[in-house]
Chain A
Amino acid sequence: MTPNSQSPNDNTTTNPTPISPDATPRPPNADRTPPDSDHSPPDPDHSPDDATPSPSVVVVRAALAVVGVGFGLWGLRLLLHSLSTDALVRLPLWLGGAVLADDFLLVPLTIGAGWLLTRWSIGPDHHRTVTTIRTTLLYAGITTLVAIPLLLRQGKGINPTVLPRDYFRDWLLLEATIVAVGVLVVMIQQRRPARPSQSPVRTQRRLMLRRSRASSGDMDGR
């Protein structure tokens, strides 16, 4: 959960931002946020380093590369010595399959879900709950991914002490818990008043806590 980004009130109390989908997005506190994206002008303090890397960095990079190539070749030698020709031919297929599963299934799925969620978040009042929904979906997804082999092998263990649980029931319980916590947080967020001046004492205390944390974060950053 991310209390920081769940509290739009933090910024709007001190630095009001018009909420309009057509408005050009501009971070409310852009004026006090030092640029640090790739597109920002180079920091004058750092540009000399970038132009002429220090000799120690060059030495470290070279050492890392040499040791890395050595380790990799050692691993390759172990493979060549311990695997049959047949296994050596099939291993690259499995390595390729692992990349396909990650880069063309799991990550696109995450990006697609994120894209849908961002579109949905434009809707009225959706901004209050989007972070919680994002986190809930992500947690349900990752726990399900890890549970899939357990569910597939349930009852097919080599002996009764391997996979002894009712994994389907446990998976349902786990997902129900994650969703229930998510729903609870969403309900709390939807009941939170827009203006802290009208808020109950507890909400106000939480906001004050966040504000003090945020200001200490400012000092850390400087």
Chain B
Amino acid sequence: MGDMKLPALPTEKSFPSPLHHPRVATVIGRWLGIAVTICFLTGLFSHLQQATPDWLHIPSRPSSLYRVTQGLHILTGTVAIPLLLAKLWTVYPKLFAKLPWPPSRQTLGTALGTVLERLSILVLVSAMALELFIGFLNTLQWYPWPFPFKETHYALAWIIVGALLVHLAVKLPLILAHWKKTPADRTPLPQPADSLPPAITGLSRRGLFRTVAGAGALIGVASIGQSVPALGPIAVLAPRKPGIGPQGLPVNRTAHDAGVPRIGSDWRFTIEGPQQLTYSLEELRALPQSRSELPIACVEGWSQGAHWEGIRIRDLLRFCGAPAASRVRVVSMEQGGFHATSELPPQFADDPLTLLALRLNGSDLDLDHGFPARVIAPNRPGVLQTKWVHRLEILP
């Protein structure tokens, strides 16, 4: 590390590369801004899916919507890693800029502004770096930190977007001044005097943009295969591989993890509505069966389409005399955990694709996929596709 051989701390002028330039910060900041915006909006959608306020109507179609949004969430978050590093590299000299402190009476306002701006950047960088780190580790189901993942990840997202808007407010004149491309983007700019002429060895801004875009594309291509099975074989940086798991489908929570015992012949399925109906597994199999092609799309970003067979929830509602548009509570045999129950809003319960599934990809559900019965619905996060279902309750 060349800068470390100096006895004194580096200053803003210690970094000779002409690529530490507002134009570079503007272009890479634009890319990072797009990635953060997509990541935030798709993450917000996922949050609203899992904690839907009363006023919000989430449609049950398109059936693969959540698969796409959550795949994008993880993709943009992962690609943001090289973008954030490139952005930090570009503005790195600013880290060593002298604070105008202590200020004179005349410059007090400016000095206060600078300190506040530095604080907002500290908030932005720390929150974004930690957010990307814990988000990526969550896709591996690895939680080595002493705070709850979901709540922290969600709250930090608002803090990041807030700090980003403040950052944009502060930098807006600089951003506008460097928004458009100039011929200087193509030309390597002067390097330190001990090097060859920059046209020979230097990197132009456009060269840097291409390199950074290439790094993002490389990371993206090497990880998107967990959501796009066709690219699964080359997804060497993805924690999931399509086709791996019981019945060719990955699992998030196994029966063992969920504390679900072996299912005996005395197992009964109950639906509590205007009438209470009870079925054995054989009786469920004797009901009219329907088929759905629906993906399992997990909050951790992986997704895979599958072929499900079972009884339409809307048929079950009809059998027990409940109105077509009913809200349904789905109760699992799962012991504890956040997702032992879930609620199907009326539009999901009424969708002809929504099943109480008994079969997957041509055979009875594996115990890890929710044997004897699970819910599968279009446009829903995997954690809400409740497994080991033994009761449906029609809510008023």
Contacts and interface: CB of A to CB of B under 8 A. Distances in A.
B140 A157 contact: yes
B111 interface: no
Contacts of A156: 142
B147 A87 contact: yes
A182 B240 CA distance: 28
A4 B207 contact: yes
A17 B196 CA distance: 11
Contacts of B126: 95-96, 98-99
Interface stretch (B68-76, B209-217, B372-380): B209-217
Contacts of B3: 108, 111-112, 115
Interface stretch (B29-37, B166-174, B286-294, B311-319): B166-174
B162 A116 contact: no
A194 interface: no
Contact of B1 (A70, A111, A143, A174): A111
B188 A5 contact: yes
B158 A72 contact: yes
A192 to B, nearest CB: 14
B219 A122 contact: no
B210 to A, nearest CB: 5
A159 B141 CA distance: 10
Contact of A61 (B136, B157, B164, B172): B172
A142 B82 contact: yes
Contact of B155 (A24, A78, A134, A147): A78
A2 B211 contact: yes
Interface string A145-157: 1110110010011
A75 B159 CA distance: 5
Interface in B193-233: 193-204, 206-207, 210-211, 214-215, 218-219, 222-223
Given A24-B193, A98-B126, A164-B244, A36 B23 contact: yes
Contacts of A71: 158-159, 161-162, 165
Interface SS of A by simple majority: helix
Given A25-B198, A36-B182, A60 B172 contact: yes
A201 interface: no
A197 interface: no
B195 to A, nearest CB: 6
Contacts of B65: none
Nearest to B95: A103
Best-buried of B157, B186, B244 by chain A (most CB within 10 Å): B186
Contact of B199 (A27, A46, A91): A27
B164 to A, nearest CB: 7
A214 to B, nearest CB: 7
A138 to B, nearest CB: 6
A78 B157 CA distance: 11
Contact of B163 (A25, A72, A173, A221): A72
Closest 4 pairs between A and B when the two form their complex, measured CB to CB: A68-B165, A72-B162, A75-B158, A71-B162
